[in-house]
Structures are given as C-alpha cells and as structure tokens.
Amino acid sequence: VIPGWFSEISPMWPGEAHSLKVEKVLFEGKSDYQNVMVFQSATYGKVLVLDGVIQLTERDECAYQEMITHLPLCSIPNPKKVLVIGGGDGGVLREVARHSSVEHIDICEIDKMVVDVSKEFFPDVAVGYEDPRVKLHIGDGVAFLKAAPEGTYDAVIVDSSDPIGPAQELFEKPFFESVAKALRPGGVVCTQAESIWLHMHIIEDIVTNCRQVFKGSVNYAWTTVPTYPSGVIGFMLCSTEGPEVDFKNPVNPIDEKDDHEKSIGPLKFYNKEIHAAAFCSVYFYAPLVIFY
Ligand code: AAT
C-alpha cells in the first residue's frame, strides 16, 4: 500500500491492484451492509468506494452507466416500464431518463447510505433522482423481484456490485428466474457481468444460467472503464420469449434533443457504433468464443 494512494485490493483480482492518488477523503461511513467511502482523487474526480471496491469515478462513470442502460433500452422499441436493481448512485436513472418513451422507473437499492452519499457528493450522477418518473424502493433486489407482478417490465437493469457481499444472489439462477418472470414477453435484461480478463468462471456460470432461463436471445457485451478492475467490464443481455430482440442492431436511438430540457447534459460515450462494437468477440482469448 503506497501512502497517499488508494489501492483496490480484493481476492476477486488477486495479484493486481489499480491505484489512484488521493487528494482528500471526503466521507467515511459504515452502513448496515457495507463500508462507504468517498475521496477526491488527483485525476479521476470524486470516487465512490464500497467495501474497498470502486463503484464509480466522476471521470469515467459515463462509460459504464451509458452502456449498461442504452444497450438494453436502445434494443427494443418504446420501452415504457423499467426496473433498476442496485444503482443507488442514480447514474443509471439519469440515463434511463433520456428515453422519452419511458413512463415509469422503479429502482430497488439495498443501501440508503449510497443514495444519500451520492446526492451529497455526486450531484451530476444523483440528478437521475430528479426525474418525476422515478420511484425509489430501499430493499434487497432479490426480494423485490420475487414480489414483482408477472410480465410487468419492458427492461430490467441490474447495476450491481461484485458477487462478494450483498450482491451475491444477484448472480445466481433463482434471481435470473425472477427477472424473467417480471419481464413482459420480448422484454430485456442487462446485468453487470464482470471482466473478460479476470472472471471467466463467473461469466461462464452467468451464461449457462441465462441460456436456461431466457428463451429469447442471450448475448455478452463489454466496454472499457479504466477504474474498474482490468479496465474492462461486461454485460449480460438477454430477452424473454416473444418479439425477437437483435441486441447488435439497435432499433431505438436516443433523441438527444430532449436531454437539454431534462438538464442531464449530453451523452459522453454511447453511440450506435459503440453499441454494435460492444458485442464483438475476442478471438485471441479462446474461452470467449463460447458466446458466439
Ligand atoms: N452505478 C455504478 C456502481 C455500481 S453500484 C452497485 C450498487 O448495488 C450499490 O449501490 C450496492 O449497494 C447495490 N446492491 C448490492 N447488492 C444489492 C442487492 N442485493 N439489492 C439491491 N442493491 C444492491 C456497480 C459497481 C460495479 C463494480 C465493478 N467492480
């Protein structure tokens, strides 16, 4: 550990630790679920850390939040009802709000401290909560989905932390079964699905489970986020049986004319080329071929 630097050390990425220079620690707290920390970094703006793991930085959060949201929502026409699991910082809400067709957004975040801290330290992210379509539920996403009425949502976005800690069940088969039930026919889910460089075993399990549960399409996409472990993060995109969803060819572009009125600023990362590119396979890394 280098004094004055934050190093992200975890058994989920043994033998490596990305480090950021700390200018100032702004918040440290312990919620019922996890340790919560915010610091000002020298080069990535403010950083939100849960149990020692970086959840977002001001500089590169756009790459993650835009991709996890627009990969599913731009793949179906007229999404109306959207559910976000996790994502208490509000960044995914901000991105969902760009879609004018959306009428209602439920979010179920387990930890109220994440919501409060984001509102205090990350106003450009928590701005997502200002949209009147948003309804916040504080609770466990697993229980929320079990109780959700069948066939309700057009899209479910699982913006979850890593599977060590409160998010563990969000990576397991019973959870995917509840997601499938809560979706309408031809509805879509996008889940945070870890790194192709570090977590092939986790990804393989997710793919196996999703192939059994989701009877529409099952695809893996990935993008770059420099402050996530290995600088890469992936997403599992699946649809339920119903109108066919071709994730690689987005049918529902974002009308950026609307963004100004919603005061959420322009897109910084997502566009339709990067959407299609996110699904390309990495042939030099043999195990990835299983996806195609
Ligand atoms: N938006 C980018 C940051 C995240 S946030 C992940 C969120 O999931 C956290 O706020 C955490 O409190 C919440 N969470 C964890 N478990 C549950 C649960 N069971 N139900 C509801 N919410 C939950 C993602 C960071 C990815 C990190 C990659 N290394």
The predicted complex's ipTM stands at 0.98
Residues with Cβ within 8 Å of 152's Cβ and at least 6 positions away in sequence, in order, are: 81, 83, 182, 183, 184
pLDDT in tens, 227-281: 999 999 999 999 999 999 999 999 999 987 766 556 788 999 999 999 999 998 7
Going by CA atoms, what residue is nearest to atom 16 of ligand 1?
167
The percent of residues above 70 in pLDDT, for the chain, comes to 95
Is 159 assigned a catalytic role? Answer: yes
Residue of 20, 28, 24 lying closest to 117 (CA atoms): 28
What pTM did the predictor assign? 0.96
Catalytic entry in 116, 159, 246, 259: 159
- Beta-bridge mates of residue 85: 108, 158
pLDDT attached to residue 292: 42
pLDDT in tens, 19-29: 999 999 999 99
CB-based pocket (< 6 A), ligand 1: 50, 53, 55-56, 64-65, 85-89, 91, 108-111, 114, 140-142, 159-162, 166-167, 170, 192, 228-229
**Alpha carbons 117 and 113: distance in angstroms, whole number:** 6
pLDDT at 217 exceeding the cut of 70: yes
pLDDT attached to residue 1: 75
pLDDT in tens, 87-143: 999 999 999 999 999 999 999 999 999 999 999 999 999 999 999 999 999 999 999
The percent of residues above 90 in pLDDT, for the chain, comes to 88
Going by CA atoms, what residue is nearest to atom 5 of ligand 1?
87
pLDDT attached to residue 200: 86
Going by CA atoms, what residue is nearest to atom 23 of ligand 1?
86
Residue of 155, 231, 160, 159 lying closest to 188 (CA atoms): 155
Which amino acid, one-letter code, is at 283?
Answer: Y
The H or E element containing residue 41 is: strand 35-41
What's the 35 CA to ligand 1 centre distance in angstroms? 13
What's the 283 CA to ligand 1 centre distance in angstroms? 30
Cα end-to-end distance, the chain, whole Å: 40
The 3-state DSSP class for residue 51 equals coil
